[in-house]
Amino acid sequence: MTPLHLASALLIVAMWGLNFTVIRFGLDEFTPFTFATWRFVLGALPILFVPKPAISWSTLAGIGGFMFTGQFVFLFFAMEAGLPPGLTSVLVQMQGPLTVVLAALFLREHATRGQWLGLAIAVVGVVLIAGTVDGTASLFAIGLALLSALTWATGNLFFRSARGVSMFAVTVWASVLPPLPLGIAALVIDGPTALLSPLLVPTWGGWFVLFYTVVPAMWLGYLIWGTLLRTYPAAKIGPVSLLVPCAALTFAALLVDEPVEGMRLLGIIVVLGGVATGVYASTRRTR
């Protein structure tokens, strides 16, 4: 990997790691449905000059419905329910092992023993983390984070059929569909004032959060990620995503004083170890 591409990969790790803490701040400004609605309204703006990728609308709907709408709504509600950003970033990495399970169930793909072992190890880590939280609300938040991982994993199955096209184009065009159901939900549940709050009562903090989650985290992040995937084998680039929770935990500890110690730290290490085991097994399978 060239120095420029290595620096780009590390930039993605930092941007996506910080994104979890930024989302935590955003939930102080907006309700989850309002936040998600505006994130994808703004995220879809490049369709004005980016051509639609050569994939079906059903594939875009699957990506937009599961990988975008489902993943982020569950993630936002998990964090609103009290799950700290660093821990959230670890739990949503379960999407990797869950993708293997879903592919085995619905696409009849054969999962290796190493991939199943990685899933089992990650599940043990989740159980250890669950034992460190207090109250049913926190356990509920963990469940929401795992649903975020599950919908992300489901979206991965749709995303796989979008090979050979620009990941940036897929991202912005898949962002066209989520705002409608999200906006209706925000209108019904939160009310028109909350839905229009970025326009009616704009704040510097609120618009910074929207800017960050769209421009660096979505547009720039997926543009760089797509470039790396087209330049190097997926087996070489995929493990980079394992550094994102490490960056997220670091930013969360620095910016919101998220505690990471004792049994929770052990659970985090076990989850990431399980995900790494699955990634390694998948890498060996593709050789």
Taking only the tens place, the pLDDT of each residue in 144-202 is 999 999 999 898 888 877 777 888 999 999 999 999 999 999 999 999 999 999 999 98
How far apart are the C-alpha atoms of 168 and 133, rounded to whole Å? 37
Cα four-point dihedral sign 137, 203, 89, 246: negative
Across the range 198-207, mean pLDDT stands at 93
What pLDDT was estimated at residue 234?
57
Mean pLDDT over the full length of the chain: 86
Q: Which residue has the higher pLDDT, 275 or 18?
A: 18
pLDDT band at 204 (very low <50, low <70, confident <90, very high): very high
Mean pLDDT of 205-232: 89
- pLDDT at 41 (0 to 100): 96
Q: Answer for the pair 185, 76: CB distance below 8 angstroms, yes or no.
A: no
Report the alpha-carbon distance of residue 244 to residue 241 in Å, rounded.
5
Whose tokens are 């084998």? That residue is 233
Q: How confident is the model at residue 285, as a pLDDT?
A: 57
pLDDT of residue 187: 95
Residue whose token pair is 């940036």: 168
Question: What pLDDT, on a 0 to 100 scale, did the predictor assign at position 244?
Answer: 84
At residue 135, the pLDDT reads 60
237 vs 234: CA distance, rounded Å: 5
Helix (H, G, I), strand (E, B) or coil at 216: helix
Residue 237 in this model has a pLDDT that exceeds 70: no
pLDDT at 131: 76
Q: What pLDDT does residue 208 have? A: 97
Q: Of 213-217, 271-275, 282-286, give the lowest mean pLDDT range.
A: 282-286
Count H helices, E strands: the chain?
17, 0
Q: What confidence tens digit (pLDDT) does each residue in 54-111 have?
A: 999 999 999 999 989 999 999 999 999 888 898 888 888 888 788 878 888 887 777 7
* Phi and psi angles of residue 54, each rounded to the nearest 5 degrees, phi first: -80, 60
User: pTM score, two decimals?
Assistant: 0.86
User: Which residue type occupies 168?
Assistant: F
Residue 223 has pLDDT above 70, yes or no: yes
Task: State how far the alpha carbon of 115 is from the alpha carbons of 89, 151, 152, in Å.
Answer: 21, 19, 18
DSSP class per residue in 75-119: HHHHHHTT--HHHHHHHGGGHHHHHHHHHHHHS-PPPPHHHHHHH
Q: Are 98 and 155 in contact (CB under 8 A)?
A: no
CA neighbor of 232 nearest in space, from 220, 221, 224, 242? 224
Average pLDDT over residues 14-24: 94
Q: Is 191 left (phi over 0), alpha (psi -120 to 50) or beta?
A: left
**286: pLDDT strictly greater than 60:** no
Nearest to 182 by CA among 23, 34, 24: 34
For residue 57, which amino acid is it?
A: W
What is the pLDDT averaged over residues 33-50? Answer: 95
DSSP tag of 164: T
Winning range, highest mean pLDDT, from 39-48, 108-117, 164-173? 39-48
Supply the pLDDT for residue 282.
Answer: 64
Give the pair of three-digit tokens for residue 182. 């999200």
Question: pLDDT tens across 250-279, in order?
Answer: 899 889 888 777 887 888 888 888 877 876
Q: How far apart (Å, rounded) are the C-alpha atoms in residues 235 and 46?
A: 30
Q: What are the CB-based long-range contacts (under 8 Å, 24+) for 263-269?
A: 263/128, 263/131, 263/132, 264/87, 264/128, 264/129, 264/132, 266/128, 267/125, 267/126, 267/127, 267/128, 267/129, 267/131, 267/132, 268/87, 268/90, 268/125, 268/129, 269/125
* Distance from C-alpha of 196 to C-alpha of 33, rounded to nearest angstrom: 12
